[in-house]
Chain A
């Protein structure tokens, strides 16, 4: 196994975010190549590369593009989902900051493929500097004739609008994002109609994750075969794996799909000294957790599905044995409770209930049977919500109880912070509490 830096390869170069630096390392060659192809050829190249959406769901990108109806008279839109908010996920934001032109080149090619003349880049609001870099990249591109009218002499017009969000995880859900982009509350919409048919302003719209769109230039430049040669049978290509938590070198590791957690951990220097892996998320907090037993599972769509979990956003949050799983689960549930849009009953009310139950267990005030009750509430919520947000909350609860039921039952008599003192899992020593360690 080797790492395959493609999207990340220029992140460390001098002023990598500028047009000059990007062009110096061959940037916008793929766009020029694309304009020599027909839109259909570009779409087919992406389709045949078997690129799957990198935002969590893994839907084939080219196929999504092909759903845009040919005969719809309305304008078409391309929307880039840069609302990166899934706990553990931290790949798109550094890309926007280090190499916004990679994304922009992908936007130009993708918009050309679907014949969209307006594209939006919806970036979560809480990251001002990446937004600055993206805004500047767009301005540089306009100034260089890479955006606007007849870009690169191709006859193709494209406007790009950088749009900042304002704090709502749910806007990562594509129809909620569309509502948000229309100036509405970010609540998911009914499907059908699907965005490809009636999305932004009820017009055909393609919405893709940053990493998916950013992968397009390399596919065009080096070809579908090059891309499809990487990865595993149904999970083609490369991707960015994000490691965080109790590892020695947390960070971004770009590799072909199908690497294992053991391989990634090795590259990251392993668990912090003197500690052992307790559990990790394979793809953000919405994917059921795994343990040391699962280190050799291929980290691709099929390998993780076989283990009852998901590749998600490929965000490995790693926790060592000092970590209270009850505390972690509570925090995740509180995250979903806080980020629930409130539209549907199970998510709005169910997370409220789960949070209360878990808080009781964390405080050691649980009662005999509360763990079963927790699972029962999960069952009450499961399979009934409007969008997948609630299922994400359930995934962490169910898998945590499955792996660490005993620890939850400790909550019948002992607070979690006594069972596993919280200071021990911090990565720094707390002033005044050194003696306790």
Chain B
């Protein structure tokens, strides 16, 4: 059920696991991110994304490094890290699966997809499979409603999902086969994409289509009917 009332273990980042892969190069990269902004604290969110790329979660070492670079307290970093849902307190899977269950996607099949994914992976939202391959999240509206029901893998679009497609998707990912986002590149990993969110391009911008079919519905009709928005005589 969605209505939880017991928040006993909320509030704090998990510092019991002190492991980290943050090295000198990673610290340099964190400092470089801070340099991008007129006021360095603005870099806090991309820096947290970068920490996730390295440590698969918001690690204590990452929080402490950010606090030091930005000259703020760890409590302030934690306050931000716990506010935004994309920051994970425990290691996310190699592939992070999101199933949209906000009203429209839920109605159009999202709830059923979530149920299916939970059963296939044997985990509940917020959990990671034991082999570290998958983590699962019930996501809120992902701005792809015309492709509903929508799933996300590593925050790449998997549009117009069906139970069959979902089954195939999980199977392919589990077996290490190439899976291409419906509007993006071949999926690599959640951590790789966190680097992109930290503002470090991965050279894949040219992968995938310009737009999905629904995005082009209006243009298609207009083209077919000879309708145009721009003034007559202007070459398009």
Judge A-B direct contact (beta carbons within 8 Å).
yes
- Measuring CB to CB, which residues of chain A are less than 8 angstroms from any residue of chain B? 2-6, 8-9, 11-18, 25-26, 75, 84-90, 92-94, 97-99, 118, 124-129, 131-133, 135-136, 139, 161-169, 180-186, 201, 218, 222, 226, 230, 238, 240, 242-246, 249-255, 267-268, 285, 315, 317, 319, 323-324, 327-329, 331-332, 334-335, 338-339, 341, 355-356, 359, 422-423, 425-428, 430-431
Residues of chain B contacted by A93 (CB below 8 angstroms): 143-144
Q: Contacts of A359 on B, CB cut-off 8 Å?
A: 1-3
A86 vs B39: C-alpha distance when bound (angstroms): 29
B24 CB–A CB distance under 8 Å: no
Q: Which residues of A contact B211 (CB under 8 A)?
A: 11-12, 16, 94, 97-98
- Chain A residues with CB under 8 Å of B45's CB are 163-166, 180, 183
Write out the residue numbers on chain B whose beta carbons fall within 8 Å of the beta carbon of A97.
Answer: 183, 210-211
Q: Which one of B98, B156, B207, B214 lies within 8 Å of A252 (CB-CB)?
A: B214
Q: Is the CB of B144 within 8 A of A90?
A: yes
The answer to whether A165 touches B201 (Cβ under 8 A) is: no
Chain B, Cβ-Cβ closest to A229: B231
A-B contact pairs, 25 of them (CB 8 A): A12-B219, A15-B206, A16-B210, A17-B206, A89-B141, A90-B143, A118-B38, A126-B142, A129-B183, A132-B201, A161-B36, A166-B48, A166-B84, A182-B39, A182-B42, A183-B44, A184-B41, A186-B83, A240-B218, A245-B104, A250-B217, A251-B216, A251-B217, A427-B108, A428-B109
Picked from A6, A124, A252, A423, the residue with its CB within 8 Å of the CB of B217 is A252
State which residues 98-137 of B face A: CB under 8 Å. Answer: 98, 101-104, 106-109, 111-112
Which of B49, B139, B154, B230 has the most chain A CB atoms closer than 10 A to its own CB?
B230
Residues on B with C-beta less than 8 A from A129 are 156-157, 181, 183-185, 205, 207-208
Residues of B within 8 A of A180 (CB): 45
Measured CB to CB, the closest approach of chain A to B103, in angstroms, equals: 4
Contact flags B9-44 to A (C-beta < 8 A → 1, else 0): 000000000000000000000000000111101111
The distance in angstroms between the C-alpha atoms of A87 and B108, with both chains bound, is 14
A242 to B140 Cα, complex, angstroms: 18
Q: B5 CB to closest chain A CB, in angstroms? A: 9
Report B86-97 CB contacts with A as 1/0, cut-off 8 Å. Answer: 110000000000
Report how far A252 CA is from B222 CA in the complex, Å. Answer: 12
Q: When chains A and B are docked, how far (Å) is the Cα of A128 from the Cα of B218?
A: 25
Q: Are B215 and A94 in contact (CB under 8 A)?
A: yes
**Which residue in A88, A136, A238 is a CB contact (below 8 Å) of B201?**
A136
B215 lies within 8 A of A168 (CB): no
Is B65 positioned at the interface, with any CB of A under 8 Å from its CB? no
Q: In the complex, what residues of A have CB within 8 A of residue B221's CB?
A: 3, 253, 267
Q: Does B169 contact A (CB under 8 A)?
A: no
> Closest 4 CB pairs between A and B?
A251-B217, A183-B44, A4-B229, A251-B214
Chain A, residue nearest B111 (CB): A422
Question: Contact between A430 and B112 (Cβ–Cβ < 8 Å)?
Answer: yes
A136-B201, A250-B146 given as contacts; is B217 within 8 A of A245 (CB)? no
Judging by beta carbons under 8 Å apart, are A132 and B235 in contact?
Answer: no
In whole angstroms, what is the CA distance A242 to B222 when docked?
A: 15
Contact B235–A26 (Cβ < 8 Å) = yes
Could you tell me if A222 and B148 are in contact, using CB atoms closer than 8 angstroms?
Answer: no
Contact of A90 with B146 in the complex, beta carbons under 8 Å:
yes
- Say whether B174 faces chain A, with CB atoms less than 8 Å apart: no
B193-232: contact bitstring with A at CB < 8 Å (1 yes, 0 no)? 1001111011011111011111111111110010111110
Residue B46 lies at the interface, judged by CB distance under 8 Å to chain A: yes
**Do B84 and A88 touch across chains, with their CB atoms under 8 A apart?**
no
The distance in angstroms between the C-alpha atoms of A87 and B147, with both chains bound, is 13
* Chain B residue with Cβ nearest A18: B206
CB distance A181 to B142 under 8 Å?
Answer: no
Residue of B nearest to A1 (CB): B227
Interface string of B65-94 (1 = CB under 8 A from A): 000001000000001100111110000000
- Give the distance in Å from the alpha carbon of A163 to the alpha carbon of B196 in the complex: 10
- Choose among B48, B185, B221 the residue with the greatest number of A CB atoms under 10 Å from its CB: B221
Q: Of B49, B184, B214, which is within 8 A of A166 by CB? A: B49
Alpha-carbon distance A341/B43, docked complex (angstroms): 21
Chain B residues near A317: list those with CB within 8 A: 103-104, 145
A169 proximity list for chain B (CB < 8 A): 140-141
Q: Known interface pairs A167-B85, A331-B101. Does A222 touch B140 (Cβ–Cβ under 8 Å)? A: no
Which residues of A have CB within 8 Å of B79? 185
Interface residues of B in 165-192 (CB under 8 A from A): 181, 183-185
Question: Which residues does chain A contribute within 8 Å of B154, judged by CB atoms?
Answer: 128
